[in-house]
């Protein structure tokens, strides 16, 4: 059985004699590797390597650093199929979903290639012979902690931008999906990234806590559940680090009776079932306003076409499967109507896999757990509302704020809901309203802690500090009221 190593200073480094965790392929429940549960000594090794690499890397002009990401982007393209297959094996999503994930990594990397233009400073003659200029300077060593649901894409939300802007990095991937991160390290190496600029340390809570506490780390990004996002944000900022922590979600799609039936049904079904519902942008609750019976029927019909083992992957673990099924059982006991039941799903030939079929639960009351809590599985809770204001009230009452959407053919109603929904990313007739580059990704409320977003133009502010210079060379330039 392969025991994974850390990636430190440009090569694999064994974690030594530490506890190991089995890594399962969710598709069949087979063990595919063992991941070491590292601790503060390993974090320190990685930080030392990242600090040593920082002076030379940050001194390069940004246009030179960007060359590495042109090469990296081409390598991602060249290895797209292999990278997608690795994601499929460790995460359990379908190959098509894994390909889409790698495509998004490529798009983010292309954005990083444009950073020399986008992160250029400004210059202005503010009075005769006196000039002000700004420069975006790197912070130093940044640490990024990532979740299980996008082993390739979420690390790439930060890798190209943070590094192209001149930082060096320690990545702590989810211990459930540690393989893709190492492959990315290898491709970065092939792309010409100098040793030590990018490092990977495996593990769980102990590594995360050491990252938050380590004095050699300047900034921390986190993507994962809200519970851990809060802990990481509080701990990292208590050590005066810059931090951005993205948390969980409970995304509400508001469906009005005039919505295009087919378009709505396909979008809602794809949103709730894609990646087995394990997307922070997935539809979790549909709020049907007034008479939407025909649309509910359409959603069930579309969801029925999503079949485990064919166009639906597995959920991440046996525990996740049990948790999701518990939510469905509880809703049924409380009187909700199970219109499509994905419990006890089984894929012939993949007996050990963790499958849950698409599940549609109708007549859910807003106080039920399936309406309030993040389920993170292919489960849609349908809540009925008499009018649009009641629907907005239900959406607003949920503590998260990653995404929301409205389905309608009325531009006026779409704007009415858009202005009142309490979510950072909003869709009009779109079930997964992920902003494409250069637009940034980030939610509101309990879905994000910290200022700014993790990708797009917003990431320039997060990963750099601004130096403001005022200068004059002309001795004749007179002093004035300010300069
Ligand atoms: P998680 O919070 O369990 O784990 C995320 C990371 O935190 C992992 O690297 C893990 O090792 C570490 N971790 C886990 N428990 C910890 C603890 N007690 N102390 C310190 N570190 C700990 O999340 P997950 O299950 O891997 O991912 C699913 C969650 O991520 C969902 O809630 C989903 O909504 C969220 N997510 C959010 C976004 C977003 O952009 N907002 C994107 C993807 C996933």
Whether the pLDDT of residue 474 is over 90: the answer is no
Residue among 207, 224, 272, 458 whose CB has most ligand 1 atoms within 8 A, to mutate: 224
Architecture of domain 251-428: 3-Layer(aba) Sandwich (3.40)
Q: How far is CA 14 from CA 35, 45, 202, 210, in A?
A: 11, 12, 11, 19
Compute the average pLDDT of residues 457-482: 91
Q: Cβ of 172: how many Cβ atoms within 10 Å?
A: 28
Is 481's pLDDT higher than 90? no
pLDDT, tens only, 305-358: 999 999 999 999 999 999 999 999 999 999 999 999 999 999 999 999 999 999
Per-residue pLDDT tens over the stretch 15-48: 999 999 999 999 999 999 999 999 999 999 999 9
Contact (CB, 8 A) for 366 and 384: no
Residues contacting ligand 1 via CB (< 6 Å): 145-149, 154, 172, 174-175, 204-205, 208, 223-225, 228, 231, 246-249, 280, 374, 376, 402, 443, 447
Q: What is the pLDDT of residues 252-305, one digit of tens each?
A: 999 999 999 999 999 999 999 999 999 999 999 999 999 999 999 999 999 999
Q: How far apart are CA 92 and CA 103, in angstroms?
A: 18
Distance 49 CA to ligand 1 centre (A): 26
CATH code matching the domain that covers 6-247+447-468, chosen among 3.40.605.10, 3.40.718.10, 3.30.930.10, 3.30.450.40: 3.40.605.10
473: closest CA among 49, 47, 128?
A: 128
Q: Taking residues 405-431, report their average pLDDT.
A: 98
Atom of ligand 1 nearest to the CA of 443: 41
Atom 28 (ligand 1): residue with closest C-alpha? Answer: 224
- Ligand 1 centroid–CA 249 distance in Å is 11
Residue-level pLDDT at 480: 80
User: Which residue is closest in CA terms to ligand 1's atom 21?
Assistant: 205
Indicate which residue's Cα is closest to atom 22 of ligand 1.
Answer: 205
CA of 173 to the centre of ligand 1 (A): 10
- Rounded distance from Cα 209 to ligand 1 centre (Å): 14
Residue minimizing CA distance to atom 26 of ligand 1: 147
Distance from Cα 218 to the centre of ligand 1, integer Å = 21
Could you report the per-residue pLDDT of 1-20, keeping only the tens digit for each? 899 999 999 999 999 999 99
Catalytic (active site) residue 280: yes
The pTM (predicted TM-score) of the whole model is 0.97
Considering the chain, what is the average pLDDT of its residues? 97
Residue whose CB lies within 8 A of the most ligand 1 atoms, among 158, 202, 228, for a mutation test = 228
Atom of ligand 1 nearest to the CA of 316: 25
Distance from the CA of 330 to the center of ligand 1, in angstroms? 24
For atom 19 of ligand 1, the residue with the nearest CA is 205
In this prediction, residue 197 has a pLDDT band, given cuts at 50, 70 and 90, of: very high
Average pLDDT over residues 410-416: 98
| Nearest CA, atom 24, ligand 1 | 147
Q: What pLDDT sits at residue 265?
A: 98
* Residue 477: per-residue pLDDT: 77
Domain boundaries, the chain: 6-247+447-468, 251-428
Average pLDDT rounded to a whole number, residues 78-84 = 98
Q: What is the pLDDT of residue 266?
A: 98
Q: Residue 147 Cα, ligand 1 centroid: separation in angstroms?
A: 4
In this structure, the residue with its CA closest to atom 9 of ligand 1 is 174
- pLDDT (average), residues 394-419: 98
Cα–Cα distance for residue pair 147/248, rounded to 1 Å: 11
Quote the pLDDT of residue 135: 97
Q: What local confidence, expressed as pLDDT, does residue 385 receive? A: 98
Q: What is the mean pLDDT of residues 164-173?
A: 99
């Amino acid at each position: 059985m392969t025991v994974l190593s850390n990636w430190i200073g440009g090569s694999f480094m064994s974690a030594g004699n530490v506890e190991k965790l089995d890594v399962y392929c969710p598709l069949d429940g087979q063990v595919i590797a063992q991941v070491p549960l590292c601790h503060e000594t390993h974090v320190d090794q990685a930080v030392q390597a990242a600090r040593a690499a920082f002076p030379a890397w940050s001194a390069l002009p940004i246009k030179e650093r960007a060359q590495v990401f042109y090469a990296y982007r081409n390598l991602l393209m060249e290895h797209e199929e292999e990278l997608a297959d690795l994601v499929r094996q460790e995460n359990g999503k379908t190959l098509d979903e894994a390909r889409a994930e790698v495509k998004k990594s490529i798009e983010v990397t292309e954005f990083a290639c444009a950073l020399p233009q986008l992160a250029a400073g400004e210059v202005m003659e503010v009075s005769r012979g006196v000039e002000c200029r700004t420069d975006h300077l790197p912070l130093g060593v940044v640490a990024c902690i990532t979740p299980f649901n996008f082993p390739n894409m979420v690390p790439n939300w930060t890798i190209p931008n943070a590094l192209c802007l001149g930082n060096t990095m320690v990545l702590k991937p989810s211990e459930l999906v540690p393989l893709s991160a190492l492959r990315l390290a290898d491709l970065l190496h092939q792309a010409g990234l100098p040793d030590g600029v990018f490092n990977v340390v495996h593990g769980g809570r102990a590594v995360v806590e050491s990252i938050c506490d380590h004095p050699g780390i300047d900034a921390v990004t986190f993507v994962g559940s809200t519970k851990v996002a809060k802990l990481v944000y509080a701990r990292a900022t208590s050590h005066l680090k810059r931090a951005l922590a993205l948390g969980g979600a409970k995304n509400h799609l508001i469906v009005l009776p005039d919505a295009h039936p087919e378009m709505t049904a396909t979008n809602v079904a794809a949103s709730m079932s894609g990646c087995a519902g394990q997307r922070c942008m997935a539809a979790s609750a549909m709020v049907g306003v007034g008479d939407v019976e025909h649309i509910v029927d359409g959603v069930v019909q579309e969801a029925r076409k999503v079949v485990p083992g064919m166009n639906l992957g597995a959920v991440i673990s046996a525990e996740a499967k049990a948790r999701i099924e518990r939510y469905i059982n509880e809703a049924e006991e409380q009187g909700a109507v199970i219109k499509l039941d994905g419990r006890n799903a089984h894929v012939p030939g993949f007996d050990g896999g963790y499958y849950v079929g698409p599940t549609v639960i109708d007549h859910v009351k807003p106080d039920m757990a399936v309406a309030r809590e993040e389920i993170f599985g292919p489960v849609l809770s349908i809540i009925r509302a008499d009018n649009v204001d009641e629907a907005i009230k239900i959406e607003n009452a949920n503590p998260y704020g990653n995404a929301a959407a409205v389905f309608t053919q009325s531009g006026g109603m779409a704007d009415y809901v858009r202005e009142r929904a309490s979510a950072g990313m909003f869709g009009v007739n779109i079930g997964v309203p992920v902003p494409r580059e250069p637009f940034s990704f980030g939610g509101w409320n309990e879905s994000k802690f910290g200022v700014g977003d993790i990708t797009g133009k917003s990431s320039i502010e997060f990963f750099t500090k601004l130096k403001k210079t005022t200068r004059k060379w002309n001795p004749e330039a007179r002093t004035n009221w300010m300069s």
